[in-house]
Amino acid sequence: MQEPAADRNRVIVVHGNKVETVVSDLQFYSNYTLTVAPFNSKGEGPHSKAYHFSTPEGAPGPVSFLTFESPSETEITLRWEAPDKPNGVLTGYLLQYYERGSTQDYSLYVKLAHYII
């Protein structure tokens, strides 16, 4: 699980007598801590007990780097780096390719044996 970046600390101000609000823009597969404190014209009251919660996994972002070299006329070696935002535990990569001018495409699944973000 990822801890949200320090610059992601947010304060949401709820005016009036409302007793609920939506907290949005949370990151996938992250741990959060939330407190609530009342305020009035004299200042801020004490914070509630801290509530800890986690968000579920989401689909990963794109790989952050991709390059290749061609050691022969019939094969290619690909190298890539994991996504900047894996949004969970990566279990593999799906490589898709097709022959230009052909209607047939191919897929290759690369499974990760021991890869934990």
Tokens 């009036």, located at residue: 16
Measured CA to CA, the distance from residue 110 to residue 117 in angstroms comes to 17
Taking alpha carbons only, the member of 57, 67, 69 closest to residue 117 is 57
Position 14 scores a pLDDT of: 95
DSSP 33-85: EE----EETTEE-PPPPPEEEEPPP-----EEEEEEEEEETTEEEEEEEEES-
Position 106 scores a pLDDT of: 72
What is the three-class DSSP state of 7? helix
> Would you say the pTM of this structure is higher than 0.75?
no
Provide block-wise average pLDDT over 10 residues at a time, the chain (117 residues).
66 94 94 96 96 96 91 88 95 85 70 52
Position 115 scores a pLDDT of: 45
